[in-house]
Amino acid sequence: MPSQVVNNAALSCTMSLGTPSTLGVLPVNRVMSGGQPAANIMDHKPFVNIRPFPTCFAPANPTVIAATAAKAGVATPAACVPNTPSPWVPGATNVLIGNMPALDDVSKCMCVWGGVVGVTFAGQATETIP
């Protein structure tokens, strides 16, 4: 069964190198899981919820474009600037948090620059979503 994703869950991105990022979940929905605020699919805002990854090598990322141009066209990873305007999909439609589907650890979030953000650790290991 999928796990409920909470504040400080570990995230990975298909266009990132190095260490993972973390998910930030504000306690606005007043639902806790494993001692942390529980996430829903609307927790996708860049910098607030999806924090930057250490590096990015997505060719469409403006920072990568600038770094590559500065190296005379040699593909160069650069700072991550998450651009995730859409909610996580699919979410757990049978469990609602703040009137939205809960975020489970099998959901994905698409970055405009071409990366796919996923959950590598839900932030807690006791609560599952049926």
The ranges assigned to domains in the chain are 10-121
pLDDT digits 0-9 by tens, 100-129? 999 999 999 999 999 999 999 999 999 999
> Does residue 53 register a pLDDT over 90?
yes
The predicted model scores a pTM of 0.93
Task: Using alpha carbons, list the distances in angstroms from residue 111 to 33, 66, 115.
Answer: 26, 19, 5
- Is residue 61 classed exposed, middle or buried when 0-12, 13-18 and 19+ CB atoms within 10 A define those classes? buried
Could you read off the pLDDT of 77-103 as tens digits, one per residue? 999 999 999 999 999 999 999 999 999
Q: Does the pLDDT of residue 18 top 80, yes or no?
A: no
